Amino acid sequence: MMDATAVEKVFAALETFRIELPSWGFANTGTRFGKFIQPAAATTTEEKFSDAGQVHLLTGVCPTVALHVLWDCPQGIHSTDEIKNFASRYGVAPGSINPNLFQDQEYKYGSFANPDSSVRQRALQHTKDSIEIARRLKSRDISLWFADGSNYPGTANIRQRKKWFEDGLKHSHEALSPDQRMLVEYKPFEPAFYHTDIADWGMALLLARAAGPQAKVLVDTGHHYAAQNIEQIVSWLLSENMLGGFHFNDRRYADDDLTMGSIDPYQVFRIFHEIRFCEWETSKRADIAYMVDQSHNLKGKIEAMIQTVTIAQQLFAKAALVNAENLAAAQTKCDLVKAESILQDAFATDVRPAIQEWRDSKGLPKDPMAAFRQSGYLERISKERAARNSHNVSSYA
């Protein structure tokens, strides 16, 4: 049973914690081996807002939905009025704006780093259009991920491509409004399998810093080699004041995009701990965008999102139970066992009853998953969307 102080710490943590959902997490996505069509899956931008709105209604902590320009803004900047209507109708605001610089045929040999200057120009223009969409939707963050890279040794001038990225990101930064940020996401491989131009945190940090003061680094938890210490990367980015946000998901092998905390919840706890320990030490709230980036091929997409949000709350609340003073003292005295057990005790604490109390105090359902299953929402949208989803192709080739 948690004592009153601990319950207060959980309540205070939940008051501040917000996490952004990805529109594409509600759509029929798959792997290169095909996709299993779900009749209830969202296809239109409106349906993605409706589903995200449902998760926010049930949890109260995901007020924004990330948009992917090519998938959610079919008319580009002319889609913004319609999107504003969806936002007010379904009670979730547009969040980070993701340009798509990997899908079009022109990007076969890259986007910002394509040897063909007209393709680089095209990629920059799409990024500027995405920044304008963000401005019109009052979205603060432009979230940039690049598939750019190569598949075979000797086929790319890596230094030259780095220069092209510096140019492209600098010109993108110039197009930002003073209140906007651009987040540079790194990824070690896939779809490129020899080199990826922005492959790790160091490359993303150097490019973001060179671009300008409103550029930060985005950490997608799935974009690391298995043995990498992600919370150390997070600590360095915090120390450099270059941590802009996260794409949370989980994985056993590579960029598996599985449900957050489903494989290694202690990993996420260690990340949240480093952030809160830094906030305690600096008595300054870190300006971080917590976001989800997952694709659910087998689980029900809305249920997987509710699982994600509730596990995120649990792990964030557990990290809030770490007594930073005692930990700092144990670290200084090199009392290894004491220091480690302070984290393990917090992680082992069952915070679910306190979280249910907090939800109750907010007029939110104590158990969002049960509330969702009793809501009839899934049955309703399955009927409405089944016909259209039945035409959805499932094969890769």
Which spans of this chain sit near ligand LRH (rule: CB under 6 A)? 24, 98, 145, 185, 187, 220, 247, 255, 293
Nearer to ligand LRH, 20 or 185 (CB): 185
Stretch of 20-28, 100-108, 240-248, 377-385 lying at the interface with Mn ion (CB under 5 A): 240-248
Classify residue 30 by burial, with Cβ atoms within 10 Å: 0-12, 13-18, 19+. Answer: middle
For residue 204, what are the contacts with CB-CB under 8 A and spacing of at least 6?
A: 184, 185, 186, 198, 217, 218
Which does residue 255 bind out of ligand LRH, Mn ion, none, counting CB within 5 to 8 angstroms by kind? ligand LRH
What is the spatial distance between Cα 14 and Cα 7, in angstroms, rounded to a whole number? 11
User: Beta-carbon neighbour count of residue 388 at 10 Å?
Assistant: 13
**Shortest reach from residue 325's CB to ligand LRH, in Å:** 37
Q: Which residues between 269 and 308 bind Mn ion (CB under 5 A)?
A: 293
**Shortest reach from residue 185's CB to ligand LRH, in Å:** 5
Q: Which residues between 345 and 364 bind Mn ion (CB under 5 A)?
A: none
Query: Is position 257 an interface residue for Mn ion (rule: CB under 5 A)?
Result: no
Q: Do residues 7 and 371 make contact, with C-beta atoms less than 8 angstroms apart? A: no
Nearer to ligand LRH, 24 or 290 (CB): 24
Which does residue 98 bind out of ligand LRH, Mn ion, none, counting CB within 5 to 8 angstroms by kind? ligand LRH
Residue 187: left if φ>0, alpha if ψ -120 to 50, beta else—which one?
A: beta
Which does residue 126 bind out of ligand LRH, Mn ion, none, counting CB within 5 to 8 angstroms by kind? none
For residue 355, what are the contacts with CB-CB under 8 A and spacing of at least 6?
A: 10, 14, 310, 313, 314, 317
How distant, in Å, are the alpha carbons of 13, 117, 154, 174, 194 from that of 151?
A: 44, 21, 9, 32, 4
Q: Which two tokens stand for residue 260?
A: 């957050």
Which does residue 187 bind out of ligand LRH, Mn ion, none, counting CB within 5 to 8 angstroms by kind? ligand LRH
**Shortest reach from residue 187's CB to ligand LRH, in Å:** 6
Nearer to Mn ion, 231 or 255 (CB): 255
**Shortest reach from residue 15's CB to Mn ion, in Å:** 27
**Shortest reach from residue 101's CB to ligand LRH, in Å:** 9
Q: Which letter does DSSP use for residue 37 in this model?
A: -
Q: Which residues between 161 and 220 bind Mn ion (CB under 5 A)?
A: 220
What are the beta bridge partners of residue 98? 68
Q: Do residues 246 and 95 make contact, with C-beta atoms less than 8 angstroms apart? A: no
Amino acid at 328: A
**Shortest reach from residue 2's CB to Mn ion, in Å:** 34
Q: Closest Cα to residue 5, out of 273, 272, 320?
A: 320
Which does residue 235 bind out of ligand LRH, Mn ion, none, counting CB within 5 to 8 angstroms by kind? none
| Near Mn ion by CB under 5 A: residue from 35, 56, 247, 301 | 247
Which does residue 290 bind out of ligand LRH, Mn ion, none, counting CB within 5 to 8 angstroms by kind? none
What is the spatial distance between Cα 329 and Cα 324, in angstroms, rounded to a whole number? 9
Residue 20: left if φ>0, alpha if ψ -120 to 50, beta else—which one?
A: beta
**Shortest reach from residue 304's CB to ligand LRH, in Å:** 15
Q: Closest Cα to residue 213, out of 185, 240, 245, 173?
A: 173
Nearer to ligand LRH, 14 or 198 (CB): 198
In the complex, residue closest to ligand LRH by CB: 145
Which does residue 224 bind out of Mn ion, ligand LRH, none, counting CB within 5 to 8 angstroms by kind? none
**Shortest reach from residue 318's CB to ligand LRH, in Å:** 26
Nearer to ligand LRH, 185 or 274 (CB): 185
Which does residue 72 bind out of Mn ion, ligand LRH, none, counting CB within 5 to 8 angstroms by kind? none
For residue 291, what are the contacts with CB-CB under 8 A and spacing of at least 6?
A: 19, 20, 21, 22, 66, 95, 96, 143, 245, 246, 247, 248
Q: Which two tokens stand for residue 361?
A: 């105090």
Q: Which two tokens stand for residue 318?
A: 């557990």
> Applying CB under 5 A, which residues contact Mn ion?
220, 247, 293
